[in-house]
Amino acid sequence: MHQFSILTRPILVLLASFLTFETQAQDSNRPNILMISIDDLNDWTGFLGGHPQALTPHMDKLAKQGRVFANAHCAIPVCSSSRVSVMSGVAATTHGSYELGPAYEELPALNNVPTIQRHFKDNGYTTLVGGKVLHHGFQDRLAADVDRSLGRYKGARPKKMMNLPAGWSKAWDWGAYPENDSELGDFQLAETAAEVLQENFENPFFITLGFFRPHVPLYVPPKWFDLYDIERISLPDNPMSDLEDLPGNFLTINDYAVAPRNKDVLEHRKQRSMTQAYLASISFVDHCVGIVLDALESSPHSDNTIIVLWSDHGFHLGEKQHWAKRTLWEESTRVPLLISGPGIQPGDTCTEPASLIDIYPTLVELCQAPGNPHLEGISLVPQLNDPAEPRDQPAITSAYFGNHSIRTRDWRLISYEDGAKELYDHRVDQDEFHNLAGDPAYKETIEELAQWLPQDGAAEFKKVSERAKPRKN
Ligand SMILES: [Ca+2]
Ligand SMILES: [Ca+2]
């Protein structure tokens, strides 16, 4: 055993205490993280412009303070799988959850993959989680990933259905209810978070908040409905002829039993009313986001907190004759993604492709946390420094086993399990009306994009009890 001389010993003690001080100093300078997820929010926000009337002043303010990733996409366009990908930093083709189904801790491929909360906790952060973050919550072996729970989501529901036509899934009701914001779980979560943000923390914090609106049922108080005159709401441009150039496959497999069919929506004349409820829910959740952001701004942590805001996937309101999610088109895959914080200069919107699985490595780099060998996304720090910095990696979205979308700055290629393809040129066709896949002039473009298609995706892992049920008729 090495023996220190009496002379060197005090120097080592001094050095050790200096190092300890240095480490603590670094710790106290490491930025906090405030992660805000919103459920089922598509690009209908002011800063993305997906709907000309959407009122989201609080998110728009945040967008001005940091970087907007205007070409950001989910890994899988459905709740549980998308959130598993965000929290693990792992693609569907590795974890094997391609639709609504297994919980994080049930997926064998993630046995040794720490959630982002766990990873930061293991590196000195205090983790707080409230609302809907992982679809199934932090349960079983994930329970210890959370130092402090800010409560699970609690929904308020009227005694009777308000607007739902007979025979539709009860999950899909909507209406001006309850009377006050304070009766809704999202508002309560925002208020709780606002209080927590005034506290002092010994370690840097990682707070994750998951807001539930605009997920169905679309119940929010009357004042939010009053923001949108039902007769003057712009409805999505949705020509029936849009379907004529589509391969049949995805039109069939996305016919999920819970979401209403567009022909039923039209038959019952509910399109305006449902669109109004979705917009009202967006403005309500924006208000909740504002409560949290205002609280952070007036807190001792305002200068040293990274804010990441995202939605787990997009949402159709009739586009391509479809409602809800699960497709590989822009309405389903595109999500809001905002990042702001110390050192991030406001500036132009980034139109390079980004994926929600890039969030994990981005936060690791921003906080100088140790790497994680499981991560499959790529840090967005270069685009936080310069929004024009090109990205080679497209955003890859998978939906149901064997179907993938490749989204670059200018293109979207969709490839279905049976080999059928769609190609859209986003420079001139942001609505994805014109499928160019059958045009020989685009053969090379398709070949180039197809190089990104996952070749050996993990077999699908699904609990039988949680499989999506196909419609019977
Ligand atoms: Ca969702
Ligand atoms: Ca079309």
pLDDT tens figures, 231-251? 999 999 999 999 999 997 766
With a cut of 80, say whether residue 259 has pLDDT above it.
yes
Active-site position among 135, 136, 215, 404: 135
Expressed in angstroms and rounded, the spacing between residue 246 Cα and the centre of ligand 2 is 6
Tell me which of 73, 74, 79, 316 is the catalytic residue.
79
User: For the segment 393-449, what is each residue's pLDDT rounded down to a tens digit?
Assistant: 999 999 999 999 999 999 999 999 999 999 999 999 999 999 999 999 999 999 999
Cβ(153)–Cβ(188) under 8 Å?
no
Query: Averaged over 131-142, what is the pLDDT?
Result: 95
CA of 331 to the centre of ligand 2 (A): 14
Q: Look at residue 421 and give its three-state secondary structure.
A: strand
How far apart, in Å, are the Cα atoms of 133 and each of 84, 157, 191, 332, 467? 9, 21, 17, 19, 21
Mean pLDDT score, 108-137: 97
Over residues 329-353, the pLDDT tens digits come to 999 999 999 999 999 999 999 999 9
Residue 252 CA to ligand 2 centre (angstroms) = 16
Report d(CA 213, CA 40) in Å as an integer: 7
Sheet hosting strand 411-415, strand order edge to edge: 395-398, 404-407, 411-415, 421-425
Nearest bound ligand to CA 79?
A: 1
| Three-state secondary structure call for residue 195 | helix
Smallest CA-to-CA distance from 203 within 28, 400, 419 is with 28
Residue 22 pLDDT exceeds 90 = no
User: Is residue 3 pLDDT above 60, yes or no?
Assistant: no
Distances (CA, A) of 23 to 19, 67, 364: 6, 30, 17
406 pairs with which residues across the strands? 396, 413
Q: For residue 429, which ligand has an atom nearest its CA? A: 2
> What separation in Å is there between the alpha carbon of 431 and the centre of ligand 2?
9
The answer to whether residue 79 is catalytic is yes
Element (H, E) at 80: helix 79-88
pLDDT for res 209? 98
CA dist 121 and 209 (Å) reads 16
The residue with greater pLDDT, 12 or 384, is 384
Distance (Å) from CA 242 to ligand 2 centroid: 4
Reduced to 3 states, what is the DSSP secondary structure of residue 133?
A: coil
Cα distances (Å, whole numbers) of residue 285 to 56, 187, 214: 9, 8, 7
- Predicted pLDDT at 156: 83
| pLDDT one-digit tens code per residue, 362-385 | 999 999 999 999 999 999 999 999
Q: For residue 131, give the nearest of 210, 54, 196 by alpha carbon.
A: 210
CA of 179 to the centre of ligand 2 (A): 42
Above pLDDT 90, what percent of the chain?
A: 86
Containing H/E element for 9?
Answer: helix 8-29
**Residue 255: predicted pLDDT:** 61
Chain-wide mean pLDDT for the chain?
91
Q: How far apart are CA 400 and CA 256, in angstroms?
A: 12
Residues in CB range of 233: below 8 A, 6 or more apart: 53, 272, 275, 276, 279
CA dihedral 321, 322, 328, 332 (to 10 degrees): 130
| Interatomic CA distance for residues 249 and 409, integer angstroms | 26
Which tens digits make up the pLDDT trace of 280-329?
999 999 999 999 999 999 999 999 999 999 999 999 999 999 999 999 99
Q: Which one of the ligands is nearest to 315 CA?
A: 1
56 CA to centre of ligand 1 in angstroms = 19
Angle at 155 between CA 153 and CA 157, to 5 degrees: 175
Average pLDDT over residues 4-20: 40
**Rounded to an integer, what distance in angstroms lies between the CA atom of residue 339 and that of residue 36?**
10
pLDDT of residue 472: 41
**163 in Cβ contact with 175 (< 8 Å):** yes
Q: Read off the pLDDT band of 28 (50, 70, 90).
A: low
Domain ranges, ordered by start, for the chain: 31-397
Q: Is 10's pLDDT higher than 80?
A: no
Reported as type and span, the H/E element at residue 26 is helix 8-29
* Rounded mean pLDDT, 24-39: 82
CA of 80 to the centre of ligand 1 (A): 7
The per-residue pLDDT for 323 is 94
Q: Which ligand is nearest to the CA of 153?
A: 1
Q: What DSSP line would sit under 366-400, residue for residue?
A: HTTPPP-TT--S---HHHHH-TT----SPEEEE-S
How far apart are the CA of 333 and the centre of ligand 1, in A? 11
d(CA 82, CA 210): 13
pLDDT classification of 7: cutoffs 50, 70, 90:
very low
Query: Residue 4: pLDDT band by 50, 70, 90 thresholds?
Result: very low
Tokens linked to 312: 């787990």
Query: Which H or E run contains 277?
Result: helix 271-297
Compute the distance from residue 247 Cα to the ligand 2 centre, in Å.
10
For 159-248, list the strands marked E by DSSP: 174-176, 205-211, 218-220
Distance CA 88, CA 118 (A): 10
pLDDT at residue 248, as a whole number: 79
How far is Cα of residue 212 from the mean position of the Cα atoms in its chain? 12
Q: Which ligand is closest to the CA of 437, given by its number?
A: 2
Highest mean pLDDT among 12-26, 149-163, 203-217: 203-217
| Residue 71 burial by Cβ neighbours in a 10 Å radius (0-12, 13-18, 19+) | buried
Ligand 1 center to residue 287 CA distance, Å?
Answer: 19
Number of the ligand closest to the Cα of 414: 2
pLDDT at position 17: 38
**Architecture of domain 31-397 in CATH?**
3-Layer(aba) Sandwich (3.40)
State the CB neighbour count (10 A cutoff) for residue 127.
Answer: 25
